[in-house]
């Protein structure tokens, strides 16, 4: 891998991944294709480095994507670009279908045409296509269901997860039909610096520090596993370079907590580090109506990536949250 196309590289996970790869592989050349939506890290995207190139554009633009392949002759693709917020998918599902399904199809077909059909060129021998998916494609689990393994049937339950599952089907279809070297990852919830505050952990932290209500759906009992974004970047590195074609890899941290537990952890850290004079930060917690199609629990069995690729998470949830809280207080 010498030349990489990373789509959605101005987003939370994508931008961290680019930083990780630029630091670890200074000889790589990375092109970041991102349309700079509301959640983009624009200042990061527009940085200038000899081995980094930013292109403002939409992954659904087949002509643009094809021209990028012709210009840069990519060895690999890491496809992050996606609409990713469940609440927004409920309000505007067609946007998620266009970006997450059509965009994935465009990228796959442009890659296939360049790697297998480019005039006067042999088939590209070292190509890799990594599709970044989500644990939500498995659907909700009850309290006693075992964690999901990679061969379990997909059962998405909202427009976001359904669009990501559809993207996975396209990836698998291109691998089977055309011989693309593809790998799919399914990650649990990520957290870390520079995450857009519509997501749970930055929302909790921002609202608490501003003395505003911290709204939790239902009774706060929904369970999620929390993976630090830097651990996710290391996993993607393993998958890109060592993952087997046609395989799916679950990526998680085994740090499952209810939303109320996560909120309480952050509030108690703030009580210790920046105490209020008259109350605990937990007093800002408010419970609101459940959203439509709320999934109570996700859980992944991640033994496959650990056993076959040697990846394990390094940052505990306690350590990661403390770093995040201290960093936010320092910025204030």
Enumerate the active-site residues: 135-136, 160
Instruction: Please tell me the distance from the alpha carbon of residue 22 to that of residue 14, in angstroms, as a whole number.
Output: 12
Instruction: Yes or no: say if 226 and 300 are a contact pair by the CB < 8 Å rule.
Output: no
> Among 78, 32, 77, 26, which Cα is nearest to 54's?
32
Radius of gyration of the chain (CA): 20
How many residues are there in the chain?
332
**DSSP structure string for 86-141:** HHHHHH-HHHHIIIIIIHHHHHHHHHHHHHHH-TT-PPPTT-EEEEEEEGGGG---
Which sign, positive or negative, has the C-alpha torsion 51, 52, 53, 57? positive
Instruction: Yes or no: say if 103 and 58 are a contact pair by the CB < 8 Å rule.
Output: yes
Question: What SS3 class is residue 216?
Answer: strand
Instruction: Please tell me the distance from the alpha carbon of residue 6 to that of residue 12, in angstroms, as a whole number.
Output: 13
Please state whether beta strands 3-7 and 182-187 pair in parallel, antiparallel, or not at all (unpaired). unpaired
């Amino acid at each position: 891998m010498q030349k990489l196309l990373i789509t959605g590289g101005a987003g939370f996970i994508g931008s961290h991944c680019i930083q990780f790869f630029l630091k670890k592989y200074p000889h790589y050349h990375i092109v970041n294709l991102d349309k700079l939506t509301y959640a983009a890290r624009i200042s990061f995207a527009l940085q200038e480095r000899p081995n980094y190139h930013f292109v403002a554009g939409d992954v659904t633009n087949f002509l643009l994507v094809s021209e990028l392949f012709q210009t840069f002759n990519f060895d690999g693709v890491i496809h992050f670009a996606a609409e990713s917020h469940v609440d927004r998918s409920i309000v505007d599902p067609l946007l998620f279908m266009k970006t997450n399904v059509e965009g994935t199809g465009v990228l796959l077909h442009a890659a296939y045409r360049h790697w297998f059909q480019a005039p006067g060129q042999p088939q590209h021998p070292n190509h890799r296509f990594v599709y970044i998916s989500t644990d939500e494609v498995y659907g909700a689990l009850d309290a006693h269901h075992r964690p999901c393994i990679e061969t379990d049937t997909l059962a998405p339950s909202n427009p976001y997860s359904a669009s990501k599952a559809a993207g996975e089907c396209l990836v698998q279809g291109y691998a089977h039909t055309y011989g693309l070297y593809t790998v799919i990852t399914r990650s649990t919830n990520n957290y870390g610096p520079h995450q857009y505050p519509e997501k749970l952990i930055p929302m909790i932290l921002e609202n608490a520090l501003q003395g505003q209500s911290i709204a939790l759906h239902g009774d706060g009992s929904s369970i999620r596993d929390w993976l630090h974004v830097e651990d996710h970047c290391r996993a993607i590195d393993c998958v890109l370079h060592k993952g087997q074609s046609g395989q799916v890899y679950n990526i998680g941290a085994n740090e499952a907590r209810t939303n109320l537990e996560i909120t309480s952890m952050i509030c108690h850290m703030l009580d210790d580090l920046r105490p209020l004079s008259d109350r605990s930060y937990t007093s800002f917690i408010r419970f609101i109506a459940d959203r439509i199609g709320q999934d109570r629990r996700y859980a992944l069995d991640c033994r496959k990536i650990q056993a076959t690729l040697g990846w394990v998470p390094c940052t505990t949830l306690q350590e990661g949250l403390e770093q995040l809280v201290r960093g936010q207080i320092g910025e204030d």
